[in-house]
Amino acid sequence: MPECLKEISTRHDQEGSFPVHMEYVTVWRDSLGVLEKDTIETQSCVDMCNNAKEFSAMREKIHSLETKMMNIENRLTGYESCILQLEQKERNTVIFSAGIGGGSPLGPFNTDQTIIYDRVFVNTGNAYNVFTGIFTAPVSGVYYFTYFCHSGGVRKTSLHLYKNNEVILHIHDHQSADAADNGGNAVFLQLQQGDTVYVHLKANTHVYRSSTVTNFSRYLRKTSNNSK
């Protein structure tokens, strides 16, 4: 006869409001020719139920954390979108206005000269180069330009506004007996990103250096749909 035989049995008891599953192992041993048995109680199912509850609670916590992470990711996406919109709005804010300082005549010169408007009132977007006098469109769109001048009648005045290498506008004042004259012009221009606009003082003509009367301004009126 084998030295040890094991017999497994189960019992379901009703304790409180939930059933308790108890498992026992009956061990038979041959001791001096007499079969003896020991009944050993195994782990209670109550412990397994508690473990299951802990696992369920942990799973709920994980699900809650996952939900919070998704909400945080959605909020970050929203913040990124707002930042991109603000950056785009800042890029699309293009305003410039400047004049010529000095209080004395500018010109005449033997050749055409790009006027450098050195007294800058505003340069939002930094599209105007104060060292070259050239405005470069940072984005495609419709821009509004104005330029004005003051000059004496003893010499001619001739100012041309250029888009790239194309003459767009003129201001002229012929030599006369007038003590002083003022002139101005304005235009809407459709510009592509990188287009340049500037003012030339034509050869053998002059203007008066005064930012209050000789100036150059522009602003972005509307961006194009393909602007980046």
**Whole-angstrom Cα Rg for the chain:** 45
Do the beta carbons of residue 127 and residue 92 sit within 8 Å?
Answer: no
- Residue type for position 178: D
Beta bridge mates, 14: 19
Reported as a single tens digit per residue, the pLDDT across 136-157 is 999 899 999 999 988 876 788 8
Candidates 102, 148, 100; CA nearest to 121 is: 100
pTM of the shown model:
0.59
For residue 173, give both structure tokens.
């004042």
User: Which pLDDT does position 86 carry in this prediction?
Assistant: 59
C-alpha to C-alpha distance for 18 and 36, rounded to whole angstroms: 34
Reported as a single tens digit per residue, the pLDDT across 46-93 is 566 677 777 777 888 888 888 888 888 777 777 676 666 656 655 668
Burial call 191-228: b when 16+ CB within 10 Å, e when fewer: beeeebbbbbbbeebbbbbbbebbbbbbbbeebeeebe
